[in-house]
C-alpha cells in the first residue's frame, strides 16, 4: 500500500535526521512541542503529529503528511526525551495513520540515611521507550473521527549497588498498551473530544507515600526516609479519562480557545484519590508564526498541599507544503510550575518536514 510504504520511508528518514540532532534521549518524557506550549492542552484542536501523540481521532480533520523529530527536557529529574513521529492523512479520506517512536533517559538522584556515611546521595537511571501506531477512522467526513493507538511501552528505574551490580529500584513495565479517542467537529465552530488512555498497559508509579523505592546493598538505614526531590511521583503510564473542547471564534483553525480535563486513576489510587488536571489554552496563528499559551492546574491526591499550577508558552514557524512541494514546522515551547513544591521546568523543540505529494 502506498500509505504504509511512504510512512516507513518517512520514519527511516526522520530517524536518521534525529540521530544527528542530539545525544539526549524519552518516552513518557515526550509530549510534543505544541502540547507542551499549551500546558498539556489543545487536544480537540490538535492536528498532524500533535494528534498522533495525544488525540488520534483528530487526524482525519486535516490533510497532512509530516515527519517530525522532537526533543524535550525535564530539568529537575535531568530527564531527556527524544521522539520521531510520522503521519499521513493524505492518501485515504476515511483512514489516517501515524507511526512513532519515543525514547527516555533520565539521571535523577535520591537522598537517604546510610549506616556508615550519614546522609547519602544515590544516582538513579530512568529508561524507557515506546513504539506506537495512531489509527484514525473517519465515520462522517469533517464531522466524526475515531482514534485507536496501540503501542508497546517499556519503563524502568535502576541504580548501581555498592558492588557495581544493576538493580531495579521499582517494578519494570514491559507491556502493550491501548489509547482510544472520539472527536466530533461541530461545523468548524468547535470540536469536542473524549479520550481513554492506557486502558491496558497502565502502571503504578515508582513510589508512593506508602511504598518507597527498593534500596538494596547501598548501606541504607532500615526504614530510612528517602528524599525524592528530583524523582517525579507520577505514574509513567496511568489509566486516564480525558476530554477537550476547542472553540474557533473566527470559524478558522488559526485561532482556537481550548479547555481540557484529565483524570488520572493510577498515580494516587493508594489513597483512593483521582489526580485531577484542568487546562485552559489558546493558539493564534499570525502569518507563518503560531503563538501558544496555556495554564494548567494539577490537583495531586487528597488535600491541597501538593497541588501545582503551571503556565506554558511557545511559538513556531510553519510553512505548509504546497502540492508537489515541501514545507516546514519548527517550534520551541516551555512549561513552568509557578506554585507548589519542587518547581518543575519543561523545555521542548521540534523540526518537522511536511510533504504534499502530487498524487
Alpha-carbon separation of residue 336 from 10, 81, 311, 333 (angstroms): 33, 17, 6, 10
Contact 90, 125 (CB under 8 A): no
Report CA torsion sign: 154, 86, 284, 146.
Answer: negative
| Rounded Cα gap, residues 222 and 52, in angstroms | 46
Segment 154-167, tens digit of pLDDT = 999 999 999 999 99
Contact 49, 351 (CB under 8 A): no
The pLDDT value recorded for residue 18 is: 36
The parts of the chain modelled with pLDDT lower than 70 are 1-27, 358-359
Q: Which helix (DSSP H) or strand (DSSP E) does residue 52 occupy? A: helix 48-54
Q: Which residues pair with 197 in a beta bridge?
A: 240
Instruction: Return the percent helix, strand and coil in the chain, to nearest 5.
Output: 10, 50, 35
Which domains are seen in the chain, by residue range? 2-356 (2.40.160.40)
Reported pTM: 0.89
The pLDDT value recorded for residue 17 is: 35
Residue 227 in grid coordinates = 528524599
DSSP string covering 193-250: EEEEEEEES----S--SS-PPP--SS-BPTTPPPB-TTS--S-SS--EEEEEEEE-TT
Residue 288 in grid coordinates = 507563518
Amino acid at each position: 500500500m502506498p500509505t504504509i510504504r511512504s510512512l516507513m520511508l518517512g520514519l527511516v528518514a526522520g530517524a536518521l535526521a534525529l540521530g544527528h540532532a542530539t545525544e539526549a534521549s524519552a518516552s513518557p518524557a515526550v509530549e510534543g512541542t505544541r502540547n507542551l506550549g499549551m500546558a498539556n492542552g489543545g487536544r480537540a484542536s490538535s492536528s498532524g503529529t500533535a494528534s498522533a501523540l495525544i488525540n488520534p481521532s483528530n487526524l482525519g480533520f486535516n490533510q497532512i503528511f509530516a515527519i517530525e523529530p522532537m526533543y524535550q527536557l525535564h530539568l529537575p529529574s535531568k530527564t531527556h526525551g527524544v521522539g520521531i513521529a510520522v503521519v499521513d492523512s493524505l492518501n485515504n479520506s476515511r483512514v489516517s495513520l501515524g507511526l512513532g517512536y519515543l525514547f527516555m533517559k533520565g539521571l535523577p538522584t535520591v537522598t537517604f540515611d546510610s549506616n556508615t556515611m550519614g546522609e547519602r546521595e544515590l544516582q538513579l537511571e530512568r529508561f524507557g521507550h515506546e513504539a506506537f501506531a495512531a489509527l484514525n477512522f473517519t465515520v462522517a467526513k469533517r464531522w466524526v473521527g475515531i482514534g485507536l493507538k496501540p503501542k508497546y511501552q517499556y519503563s524502568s528505574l535502576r541504580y548501581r549497588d555498592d558492588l557495581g551490580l544493576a538493580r531495579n529500584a521499582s517494578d519494570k513495565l514491559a507491556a502493550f498498551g491501548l489509547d482510544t479517542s472520539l472527536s466530533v467537529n461541530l461545523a468548524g465552530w468547535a470540536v469536542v473530544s473524549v479520550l481513554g488512555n492506557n486502558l491496558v498497559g497502565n502502571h503504578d508509579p515508582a513510589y508512593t507515600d506508602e511504598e518507597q523505592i527498593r534500596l538494596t546493598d547501598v548501606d541504607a538505614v532500615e526504614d530510612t526516609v528517602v528524599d525524592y526531590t528530583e524523582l517525579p511521583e507520577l505514574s509513567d503510564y496511568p489509566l486516564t479519562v480525558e476530554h477537550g473542547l476547542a472553540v474557533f471564534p473566527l470559524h478558522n483553525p488559526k485561532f482556537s480557545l481550548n479547555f481540557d480535563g484529565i483524570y488520572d486513576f493510577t498515580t494516587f489510587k493508594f489513597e483512593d484519590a483521582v489526580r485531577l488536571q484542568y487546562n485552559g489554552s489558546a493558539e493564534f496563528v499570525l502569518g507563518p508564526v503560531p503563538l501558544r499559551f496555556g495554564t494548567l492546574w494539577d490537583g495531586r491526591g487528597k488535600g491541597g498541599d501538593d497541588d501545582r499550577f503551571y503556565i506554558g508558552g511557545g511559538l513556531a514557524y510553519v510553512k505548509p507544503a504546497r502540492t508537489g512541494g515541501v514545507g516546514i514546522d519548527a517550534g520551541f515551547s516551555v512549561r513552568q510550575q509557578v506554585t507548589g513544591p519542587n518547581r518543575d521546568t519543561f523545555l521542548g523543540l521540534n523540526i518537522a518536514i511536511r510533504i504534499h505529494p502530487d498524487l
